[in-house]
Each structure stands twice: as structure tokens, then as C-alpha cells.
Structure 1
Amino acid sequence: MTMRDDIILEDTTLRDGEQTPGVAFSKETKTKILNSLIEAGVTSVEIGIPAMGGEELDFIKSCVDRQDEARLVVWHRGVREDVESSLDLGFKAVHIGLPTSKGHLKASVRKDRSWLLSTATELIKMAKDRGAFVSISAEDIARTEISFLQEYAGVVHEAGADRLRLSDTVGLLGPEAYGERVAAVGEAAPIDTQCHAHNDFGLATANTLAGLHAGARYFHVTVNAIGERAGMADLAQVVVALKKLYDRDLGIDLTKLKDMSRIVAAAANHEVLPWQPVTGDNVFAHESGIHANGMFRDTSSFEPFPPEHVGGERRYVLGKHSGRALVAWALEQQGIEPREDLLGQVLDEVRAESIRARGAVSQEETVALYEKALARTSG
């Protein structure tokens, strides 16, 4: 199946992302993150769980008057009073979280599938009668029989749901199996589906793309891939992959991705890994002699796209794997026209220093090494 042209990103950093163990956002922090998402062009945001009360509810209430800036979705358990309270506040988009696997029904809500189908129908109809956009989950789809997933899709569609979220709650599916479930739901009912993939096997981004290829219209992401256990699909990775690899432009300002990543990293008190795709500091860093030589001739040699496209910066790093050309370049950056016969000596010392320091060697340190080599020849 061809990927749709009208796919919609929904960010859940403020809901599923904040469920990262040990992470807790204040009202002020959640507002700052929401602002950064909207400024970057995100048009749909899941903002939190009103049933938590306290500062979480204060933040959610503060968002009621911002619904013209983006679709702001509020998450609920399958409890009528929870959904009604958000509608009473004036929210126009609600999500209802319900499990579909027998294991989760038994262990999580201690109900059976007849309860699930009747509750889903009742809650959807109530919210639709009040004019809301209604999203509903099929949680733990990996352990839900496809036949029941199709039955459930038909029931929630008939009840009037606008969207069915297909949640691989424990990240148990591979791309083929995730895509199969999305396609099966599409065959059973004409309801928009949403990818919600967890990263327990490192496949959240791949599963999201597979779901979109199988016909899903919506998908969930978080900034920096934060979330429960191993996290979720990363906003920057999926957006850039869609634009660069699949020609799907979601209207996100890619130059804001790195700043947004740093805002969430600071809020979560977790640094972004240097090798984090798209937003990591090493994504456009080059140390290897062969790579640097290629980059000096053509920057596309070892970069899939220019760093400025995503708010990044190109760096050349001196270290164990560097070559003579990079040493010469570093010295030239410091205003020195190096002697060719000294480059080999300086390179040997740069490599040795990198091993001793267990890291990069600065341009200033390289100048000092060059000056020592120069002094030895003139002494």
C-alpha cells in the first residue's frame, strides 16, 4: 500500500513521554515544551491526564483556551466521569485508553471483552453527542488476536469514533507484524488508525513507518524518544525520515528540532546521546581521516543531508582516527600554515594524546603540539 498524503503527527511528550520513570514536568515546564512543539509546527499534541489532578490538572486547564493553536488531546481511562470532566472543561478532543488483549483486560482493568465492547461504545457515543473528536485505544495489540482487533475496530467505528490507536504497548511487534495489524484493521473498518509504537526492541521508528505504509493516517512520537521503559518513536527521526526518504512533508520546521530536543532533555534531566540520530552532537561530526578527506572535497560524501536542514552544525574532530589533512586543516583554522614535513609527527602525537585523554584533541592543543615539533627542528 502507498503511504497516505494526509498523515498527521501527534506528539505525546507531555503524556506518554512524561511517563518515563523518574521524569516529572512542572506546569511551567509543560507549557514551555508545548510552546516549542507548536512553534515548530506540530498540529496535534496529547497534553496529559486530568485524573492525576494537582499541577497536572492545572496545566491542562490552562490549555483550554489554546485549542485554536493545535488539536490538544486529553487522555483518559475508560471511565465515563473522566471523559465528561474534560468535556465540561471545554476540550474538543479526547482519547479513551482501553486494552484489547485478554491478558491486559484481566490484569489491568479486571474485565472481559463484553465489558470492553459495551464500555467503548457507550463512551464514544457520549463524547460524540457532545461534539468531540474521539480517539480510542486498542492497547496491547501484539497479544490481541487479529480477528478480535478487526471486530473491535468495527464496533468503535460503528459507535462513531474518529480514530483507533493501535498501541504496541510493550513493544513486542516487528515492522512486518505491526504493519499486518494496521492493514487488517483497514480491511475491517473505514476508521482512521494511529500508530503508537514502543521501543523495547529498538523498532519503534521502524514500526511507525511500517504502520504508515500499511495505511495508518496518524502516528505518535515523543521528543528524544522518551517514554516508558525504552521509550517511543522519536519525533525528529520520524519527521526527517518521512521528508527525506518518503517525500512526506508534515510542515514541521526542521531547524527547530535540535533546540526542541535540548528543551526536553533539560526538562527530563537526561542528556541527549551524542549519536542520537538527527539531534545528537556527533551526527555531523567527522574524525576519520578517510571521511575528513572526502568531506573537504564534497560534504555529501559522509552526510545524508546538510546539518543546517535540522538546526545542527558540522564539526571536525581531532582524535585517534584522524589523518594528516585534518591536522593541517585544524592548524590553518588557527592561522598557521603548517610545514608538510611536520604533519606526520604532529599526527602521531594527536593520536597518542587522544588515547591518553580518552577523547578529542582541541585545535589549541594541536597548535601546542605543532609548536613543540617546530621547536625540536629549530633547536
Structure 2
Amino acid sequence: MPIRNDLVLEDTTLRDGEQTPGVAFSKETKTKILDALLAAGVGSVEIGIPAMGGEELEFIRSCVDRQDEARLVVWHRGVRADVESSLDMGFKAVHIGLPTSKGHLKASVRKDRSWLLATATDLVKMAKDRGAFVSISAEDIARTEISFLQEYAGVVHEAGADRLRLSDTVGLLGPEAYGERVAAVGSAAPIDTQCHAHNDFGLATANTLAGLKAGARYFHVTVNAIGERAGMADLAQVVVALKKLYDRDLGIDLTKLKELSLLVSRAARHPVLPWQPVIGDNVFAHESGIHANGMLRDTSTFEPFPPEHVGGERRYVLGKHSGRALVEWALEQQGIEPQEDLLGRCLDEVRAQSIRTGGAVSQEDLADIYKKALAEAGV
């Protein structure tokens, strides 16, 4: 099945992302992140959990008058008073979190499936009667029988739910199994589904794409893939993959991805790994002799797309794996026209210095290496 053309990205950095252990965003920080998400073109944002109260509730209240800027979704437990409180504040989009697996029902909410179906029906109907966009979860779908997922989907659709979030709550599914569940729900009820994939096995992005290929319309992401345990599907990775690999443009300003990543990284106090896809510092960095040699002739040889597409910068790194072509190029960047017969000597010293220091060699250090080589050669 081809990926549909009416996809809706919903960012949950401010809700599920902030549930990263040890991360706590102030009202001011959450406002800055929301501003940045909207500036990047994100049209749907899950903003937080009103039941937490305190500064979290202050931030959520401050968002009521911003609902014309994007769909702002508030998250709730399956508790009628919680949902009613958000509707009373004036929110037009609510999410209701409910588990569907027997294990989660027993251990988390201490209820059975009869309670689940009755509660889901009651809450959805109440919120729809008040004119809200209603999203509801099927949590822990990996350990929920497909037949019950289908039954549940039919019940919440009949009650009027606008979408069903299929949450692989502990990341137990592979892409094939996740896609199977999305397709099974789609065959059982005409309700929009939303991918919500956790990254415990490093498959959140793959599972999200598999779910979209199986017919899901909505999907969740977070900036820098932050979230509980191993995190979630990464906003930058999914958006760029959809655009570059599947020809689905979601209207996100890709040039703002790096800036957005840095903002959230600072707020969460967690640095982004240099090899993080799309926005990591090494994504457009080149050291290997063969790679750099090719890149200096044609930048498409070892890059899937230009760095400027996503707000990144290309770097050439001098180090243990560099070759003569990069040494020559780096010297020329310093205004030096190197002698051909000294390049090998310079390269040997670059590699040796890189090993001694355990890292890269700067262009300024290379210039000093070349000057020393000139002197030793009696030039």
C-alpha cells in the first residue's frame, strides 16, 4: 500500500518527550519549544498533561488562545473529570490514554476489558458531544490480541472517536508486526489511526514508516527522539525520510531542523550524538581518504542530500584516515600551494598526530606541519 498523501505529523516532545527520565521543562522552556515547532511548520502538537497541575497546568492554560496556530492536543488519563477540565478550559482537541492489553489493564489501571470498552465509549461520546477532536489510545498493542484491537477500534469508532492511537508502549514490535496491526485495525473500522512507536529495539522510525505504509494517517515524533527509556521516533528522521525516500512533503521547514534539535538538546541537558541521523555533527563530516577524494570532486558521492537542506554544514576532517587529496585541499584553504613531494610527509604526520591526540588535526596545525616539512627539506 502506498503512503497516503494526507499525513499528519504530531509532535509530542512536550508530553512524551518530556517524560524522559531526569528531564523537566519549565513553562518558559516549553513555550520556546512550542514556538520553535510552530515556526518549523509543525501543525499538531501534544502539549502536556493538565492533571500534573502546577507550572505544567500554567503552561497548558497559556496555550488555550494559541489554538488557531496549530492543533494543540492535551493528554489525559481515562478519567472523566480530567477530560472535562480541559474542555472547560476551552481546548478543542483531547487525547484519552487507555491500555488494551490484559497485562496493562490488570497492573496499571486494575480494571478489565468490560470496564475499558464502557469507559472509552463514555469518554469519547462526552467529548464529542462538546465538539472536541477526540483521540484515544490502544496502549501496549504488542501484547494485545489483534482480534481485540479490531473490536476496540469498532467500539471507539462507533462512539465517535476521530482517531485511534496505536501505541507500541514498550517497543516490542518489529516493522512487519506493527504494520500488520495498523492494517488489521484499518480493515475492521473506518477510523484514522496514529503511529506511536517507542525505540527500545531501535525500530521506532522503521515502525512508524511501516505503520504509514499500512494505512495510518497520523504519527507521533519527538525532537531528537527523546522520550521514555530509549525514546521515540525522531522528528527529523521521519520527516526527511518521508520527503526524500517516499516523496511525501509535510510542509516542515527542513532548514530549521538543526536549530530545533539544538534548542531541545539544551533544554533536556542531553547532547545529541554526532552520528544522530540528519542533525548530528558528523552527518556531513568527511575524513576517510576515499570519501574525501570523491567529495572534493562531487559532493553527491558520499552524501544522500546536501547539508543545507536540513540546516547542516559540511565539514572535512583531517585525521588518521585522511588521504593526500584532503591534505592538499586543506593546505590550499590556508592559502598554501603545497609542493607535491611534501604531501606524503605531511600526511604521515597528520595521521601520527591524530593517533597521539585521539582526534582530529586542525587546518592550522596542518599548516605548521607543512612549514616544518619545508624547513626539513631545506626549502
Q: Same fold (TM over 0.5)?
A: yes
Aligned positions of 1:136-151 closer than 5 A: 136-151=136-151
AA of the residue aligned to 1:84:
E
| Alpha-carbon separation, structure 2, partners of 1:134 and 1:185 | 18
Asked if residue 82 in structure 1 is aligned to residue 98 in structure 2, the reply is no
Aligned positions of 1:3-82 closer than 5 A: 3-82=3-82
| Alpha-carbon separation, structure 1, partners of 2:2 and 2:311 | 30
Match in the other structure for 1:250? 250
Asked if residue 276 in structure 1 is aligned to residue 282 in structure 2, the reply is no
| Alpha-carbon separation, structure 2, partners of 1:79 and 1:197 | 24
Partner of 2:187, secondary structure, is: helix
| Alpha-carbon separation, structure 2, partners of 1:359 and 1:199 | 31
Match in the other structure for 1:336? 336
| Alpha-carbon separation, structure 2, partners of 1:72 and 1:26 | 18
AA of the residue aligned to 1:61:
R
Match in the other structure for 1:297? 297
Aligned positions of 1:148-159 closer than 5 A: 148-159=148-159
Q: Deviations over 1:268-307 (max 9, x none)?
A: 0011100000000000000001001101111000000000
How does the TM-score come out when normalised to structure 1?
1.00
| Alpha-carbon separation, structure 2, partners of 1:356 and 1:125 | 68
| Alpha-carbon separation, structure 2, partners of 1:21 and 1:201 | 18
| Alpha-carbon separation, structure 1, partners of 2:349 and 2:294 | 23
Shift of 1:3: 1.0
Partner of 1:216, secondary structure, is: coil
| Alpha-carbon separation, structure 1, partners of 2:254 and 2:278 | 10
Q: Deviations over 1:61-86 (max 9, x none)?
A: 00000000000000000000000000
Asked if residue 285 in structure 1 is aligned to residue 297 in structure 2, the reply is no
Asked if residue 207 in structure 1 is aligned to residue 193 in structure 2, the reply is no
Match in the other structure for 1:174? 174
| Alpha-carbon separation, structure 1, partners of 2:358 and 2:70 | 46
Match in the other structure for 1:234? 234
Match in the other structure for 2:190? 190
AA of the residue aligned to 1:294:
G
Match in the other structure for 1:354? 354
Shift of 1:335: 0.4
| Alpha-carbon separation, structure 1, partners of 2:88 and 2:354 | 62
AA of the residue aligned to 1:17:
G
Match in the other structure for 1:97? 97
Match in the other structure for 1:317? 317
Shift of 1:378: 1.1
Q: Deviations over 1:287-339 (max 9, x none)?
A: 00100110111100000000000000100000000001100111100000011
Match in the other structure for 2:123? 123
| Alpha-carbon separation, structure 2, partners of 1:153 and 1:358 | 55
| Alpha-carbon separation, structure 2, partners of 1:227 and 1:123 | 27
Match in the other structure for 2:372? 372
AA of the residue aligned to 2:330:
A
Shift of 1:183: 0.1
Shift of 1:2: 1.5
Asked if residue 306 in structure 1 is aligned to residue 306 in structure 2, the reply is yes
Shift of 1:213: 0.2
Match in the other structure for 1:265? 265
Partner of 1:271, secondary structure, is: coil
Partner of 2:377, secondary structure, is: helix
Partner of 1:378, secondary structure, is: coil
| Alpha-carbon separation, structure 1, partners of 2:295 and 2:328 | 14
| Alpha-carbon separation, structure 2, partners of 1:66 and 1:357 | 52
Match in the other structure for 1:132? 132
Question: What is the count of residue pairs matched by the alignment?
Answer: 379
Gaps of 5+ in 1: none
| Alpha-carbon separation, structure 1, partners of 2:193 and 2:355 | 51
| Alpha-carbon separation, structure 1, partners of 2:26 and 2:378 | 63
Q: Deviations over 1:130-172 (max 9, x none)?
A: 0000000000000000000000000000000000000000000
Q: Deviations over 1:213-262 (max 9, x none)?
A: 00000000000000000000000000000000000000000000000000
AA of the residue aligned to 2:108:
S
Structure 1 segments, 4+ long, off by >6 Å, are none
| Alpha-carbon separation, structure 1, partners of 2:228 and 2:138 | 18
Q: How many percent identity over aligned positions?
A: 88
Partner of 2:35, secondary structure, is: helix
AA of the residue aligned to 1:190:
P
Partner of 1:74, secondary structure, is: strand
How does the TM-score come out when normalised to structure 2?
1.00
